[in-house]
Structure 1
Amino acid sequence: MDKLQQGIDRMQDQDFEEAAKLFTEAIEENPEEPLGYINFGNLLLHMQQYERAERFFERAISLDEEAATAYYGLGNVYYDQEKFTQAQNQFLQAVEKGLDEADVYFLLGMTFVQQDYQKLALPYLSRASELDQSDVDIQFQYGLCLAQNQQLDQAKRVLHQVLELTPEHGDAYYNLGVISIFEEQPQEALDRFEKALEIQEDHMLAAHAKAEVEKALNE
């Protein structure tokens, strides 16, 4: 097993010191190989050492401008620091360089969501949803984005998929309740808000919405 793979294994075992040692040795033995820098960058990113991680990913890109995972890593560095425009640029580069994985499309979509550009987020979240239909976070954010874009029928379908994956997903019930209000089905909305509160009794949005619906029904 080569040192990069050993380092990845140690990193997965939370043995970061040994992982750093192995990645350093791999870089010293092959200083022109970008993978060593990418893996060390991922380790530093995991440890929230963002400035150092950025330097390692940039070094990898300087060695290979087609290293898609280096752009993805750099995007994560910026995303974690809430530099969403910079993150977006790097994720787009990763996709252009051939990275076709759910995570990069998901985070690319989320950079737009974080900047309130829900319409621009939608195609990327849709692609992430296609690529990983079992990821609850991806499916939920896609369903939410569909709802925010007024695509309510599709949003309901996706949120029901979320509930198939995780039956106790309070936020999915809450958002289905909001859709029911838009569709002028107050009793259905009430049932869904109550279900959200049954799952998560401190769900403030569901509690507020439930009170408003009950008030309207009693008038």
Structure 2
Amino acid sequence: MIISRFIRKTLNFKIQKVLNPKIFNFKQHEQVCLFQVNKFRISEEIHDKLDFLETVQNYKDILQHDQNDLVTLNNLATLYYNHKCYTEAHPLFEKCIELDPTFSAAYTHLAKIYIDQDQIDLAVELLNKNIHYNKQSIESIFLLGVIDLKQFKYDFGIKKFQQCIQLNPDHIDSYLQLGIGYRKIKNYSKSIQYLNQYLELTQDKSEAHYQLGLTYEDQNELKDAIKSYKKALEYNSENYNAYKNITMAYIELKKFDKANKYLSKAPKSLQDDFDFVSAKGYMLEQDGRFEEAAAFYEQFGEKFQKDYKFYLSLGNCYLKMGQFDLAENMYSEGLMLSPEYFYIGLAEVCVVKKKYQQAIQYLENASDIDPDNRDIYLKISKIYEATGQLYEAIQYSYQVMEITPNDLDIIIRLSQLHHQDGNTELAAQFMKKGIELEPSNPDLYYEYGILIQELGFDEEAEEYFKKTLSINNHYPQLFKFSQELARRESGLDQSN
């Protein structure tokens, strides 16, 4: 009895065999029974008791007696997955699914392996299959949302994360991803709202403050961004992205002394980060000293010859200096490292040289590499607009809108392009959509008022001008209108 109690508490099967070999001489079904009793305790405790290899062996010992033991198969696969042994984990998760097509955890782990290997289509197929069996699989819905964000399908991703929260209001990671998703579509108030909720729920306060900093930075509120980045560092002094972003934010504010303090105390981990070590060159650029900036970048040619950002920074500097041939050479050299960036740079050189068709060709090449990059289509649209080809400009703007349907900037752009093209009614429809997206923006009410005034709806236009003034009572373009409105209201007061 004492020995059996000891055995029940012991996790290493090899030791059990030595202490009481008779137990391991039972009939086959009795051996399996013993392993069934122990396997659950192993899954809970063995990770803390034994090293990785011994843990793997213990799981394999169990599977020798029952190769279709679903719990142990999953435990072993998960152990491999957690140690990034994806080759070993992959077939085990597949076998779990074969044994139980409704086994949700195997689908999600296998999907994560596919995502890590950039096999997105296979991941999506697996996750959708899991949702077919497990309609409320939060992890599957969440991962599909993450994939949407990676593919710039921000609206679709946002809906999935909201669905996760409906299923589980405490699903912490969905709040983070909603904060990121809303930032991507420039809905900053929503982004801050969800990131603050993430901050309340998460243990990783550093990441929460860092993401808030990114949202503030995206809307050019750099002082608030710096405060958030500093908070991130208070919670985790090794949050080097926050450290770097503080430095860059000070440069944007032209507070070069403060930026240089951070540069002088740079952590070792940032010494091989071109963005960070090249910050001095960026400061020179901000100061308009492009020749000095170019000379600064040139010294890194040997160290960062395989970093596309080196060629991009130097090429951009030459472009600003008006040395278009040198810029073209830099972009051409960087083309093999990260083509989409350099096709875009080469296109900019062509625009300056008024080689518009060649510029469009370079951008089309870039879009073949990165078909979901909205900025490429936007640049093509702007080239067509600059050359008076409004139909093409509008068509490429619609391609941008397909990628980011609720992006306020592209909605306003389509309104303006349709207005230039003489379609005032369609222009007004787009501006109305802009108001729906950002109802506190006085510019949108004003522009919509102008458009419907052109369409002959004077009374309705006046209501929108009043709405503009209710948000900003000193709106410059409505100065005369506000005076006239005041006189009218004064006359009404006198008549009463």
Normalising by structure 1, report the TM-score.
0.76
Show the counterpart of 1:177. 216
1:193 alignment partner AA: A
Change (3 A) 1:11 1:214: farther
- 1:1-219 matches, within 5 Å, as 2-13=37-48, 15=50, 16-98=52-134, 100-130=136-166, 131=168, 133=170, 135=172, 137-165=173-201, 168=206, 169-178=208-217, 180-181=219-220, 189-199=221-231, 200=233, 203-212=243-252
1:133 alignment partner AA: D
Which blocks of at least 5 consecutive residues in structure 2 are unaligned?
1-35, 234-239, 256-496
1:196 alignment partner AA: S
Q: What CA deviation, in whole Å up to 9, does each residue of 1:109-129 have, x standing for no partner?
A: 222223333233222222334
* Distance across 2 between alignment mates of 1:114 and 1:2: 44
Normalising by structure 2, report the TM-score.
0.37
* Distance across 2 between alignment mates of 1:167 and 1:67: 33
* Distance across 2 between alignment mates of 1:192 and 1:17: 48
Q: What CA deviation, in whole Å up to 9, does each residue of 1:138-172 have, x standing for no partner?
A: 42222111221344332221122233346554323
8 Å CA contact 2:188–2:215 kept in 1: the answer is no
Q: What's the offset of the Cα at 1:39?
A: 1.9
Change (3 A) 1:3 1:84: farther
Aligned residues: 207
Which blocks of at least 5 consecutive residues in structure 1 are unaligned?
182-188
Question: What's the secondary structure of 1:32's corresponding residue?
Answer: coil
Show the counterpart of 1:186. none
1:13 alignment partner AA: D
1:67 alignment partner AA: F
* Distance across 2 between alignment mates of 1:173 and 1:45: 31
Change (3 A) 1:138 1:78: same
Change (3 A) 1:64 1:173: closer
Q: What CA deviation, in whole Å up to 9, does each residue of 1:37-91 have, x standing for no partner?
A: 2222111112222122111111122222222222122112223333333223222
Q: What's the offset of the Cα at 1:195?
A: 0.3
Change (3 A) 1:10 1:51: same
* Distance across 2 between alignment mates of 1:191 and 1:160: 18
* Distance across 1 between alignment mates of 2:194 and 2:48: 35
Question: What's the secondary structure of 1:13's corresponding residue?
Answer: helix
* Distance across 2 between alignment mates of 1:45 and 1:14: 19
2:41 alignment partner AA: Q
Q: What CA deviation, in whole Å up to 9, does each residue of 1:13-42 have, x standing for no partner?
A: 173334323322333333334333222211
8 Å CA contact 2:154–2:185 kept in 1: the answer is yes
Question: What's the secondary structure of 2:67's corresponding residue?
Answer: coil
* Distance across 1 between alignment mates of 2:46 and 2:156: 35
8 Å CA contact 1:50–1:77 kept in 2: the answer is yes
* Distance across 2 between alignment mates of 1:198 and 1:156: 17
Question: What's the secondary structure of 1:2's corresponding residue?
Answer: helix
Question: What's the secondary structure of 1:133's corresponding residue?
Answer: coil
8 Å CA contact 2:183–2:215 kept in 1: the answer is no
Compare 196-205 and 142-151 and name the one that shifted more: 196-205
Say which structure, 1 or 2, has more relative contact order (CA 8 Å, 6+ apart): 1
Task: State the Cα RMSD in Å.
Answer: 3.0
* Distance across 2 between alignment mates of 1:132 and 1:96: 22
8 Å CA contact 2:47–2:55 kept in 1: the answer is no
Change (3 A) 1:22 1:96: farther
2:211 alignment partner AA: A
* Distance across 1 between alignment mates of 2:160 and 2:130: 13
* Distance across 1 between alignment mates of 2:209 and 2:70: 43
* Distance across 1 between alignment mates of 2:67 and 2:84: 24
